[in-house]
Amino acid sequence: MSKDQINLNKLPKHIAIIMDGNGRWAKEKGKFRIFGHQNGVKAVREVSEGCAELGVEYLTLYAFSTENWSRPKIEVNALMTLLVKTIKSETQTLMKNGIKLDAIGDRTTLPAECLKELDEAINATKDNTRMTLILALSYSAKWDIVNATRTIAQKALNGEIAIEDVNEELIDRTLTTHKYPHPELMIRTSGELRISNFLLWEIAYSELYFTTVLWPDYRKEQLYEAILEYQSRERRFGKTSEQLV
């Protein structure tokens, strides 16, 4: 299994990853959960770099879900602190790799310090064009869909749109993910076989890939494996195999 086996003409434009298993990784080593989160940073760096090197245009990483706010306060605080620190320290690497940073999620719930670092990094990297790295922070797909529904309902009430104008395209345009194509490939680490409220609308036709590797152990090699598997799948979009040729 190597990078050379990947067909660069058949790359997913957008890969989305549920980075899971930090807590278990730490527990296996007899350490606190936060140790696992800290060691997940290297995997983020590797995968971002790996995607950029191949020519993947968008990478969305699920870093903190709406539901993660209900974890013990000590873990939530430690995660927010780590986030601030990491965004700050990784901006240089993003610049070096030509990666533009963006974020999706409920900004109103993020601590001020976190928002500040995030906006600074987004601003500093805004002219980079090699790849866009989208952090899903305080994000959940249902949160996004509820907000989009409200926006659309308000427009209808204002008479700006008619009921007939509500279609897939309008919903697409109203979600916070509207700037990016839907991911062709969604990866989840740690062996859990669920979506946990990540991009529900956007993954309608994504190829799903699950691995038992825990996030802190995830490296470029594992990314290549997932992409190769993706390239071996037949994406039918409801059609028959025969129609595809």
Interface ranges with ligand IPE (CB under 6 A): 18-24, 62-65, 68, 79, 190, 192, 194, 196, 215
How far apart CA 83 and CA 127 sit, in angstroms, is 22
Shortest Cβ distance from residue 231 to ligand IPE (Å)? 25
Considering the complex, state which of residue 51 and residue 83 has its C-beta at the smaller distance from ligand IPE.
83
- Residue 20 a catalytic site member: yes
- Residue 127 a catalytic site member: no
Closest CA to 65 of 119, 148, 140: 140
Considering the complex, state which of residue 20 and residue 102 has its C-beta at the smaller distance from Mg ion.
20
Considering the complex, state which of residue 20 and residue 225 has its C-beta at the smaller distance from Mg ion.
20
Q: Does 20 bind Mg ion (CB under 5 A)?
A: yes
Beta-carbon contacts of 168 under 8 Å, excluding residues fewer than 6 positions away, are none
Contact 51, 15 (CB under 8 A): yes
Edge-first strand order for the sheet with 131-139 is 99-104, 131-139, 58-65, 14-18, 185-188, 207-210
Q: 49 is in the binding site of which of ligand IPE, Mg ion, none (Cβ under 5 to 8 A by kind)?
A: none
Q: 24 is in the binding site of which of ligand IPE, Mg ion, none (Cβ under 5 to 8 A by kind)?
A: ligand IPE
- The SS3 assignment for 15 reads strand
Residues assigned a catalytic role: 20, 68
| Chain contacts with Mg ion (rule: CB under 5 A) | 20
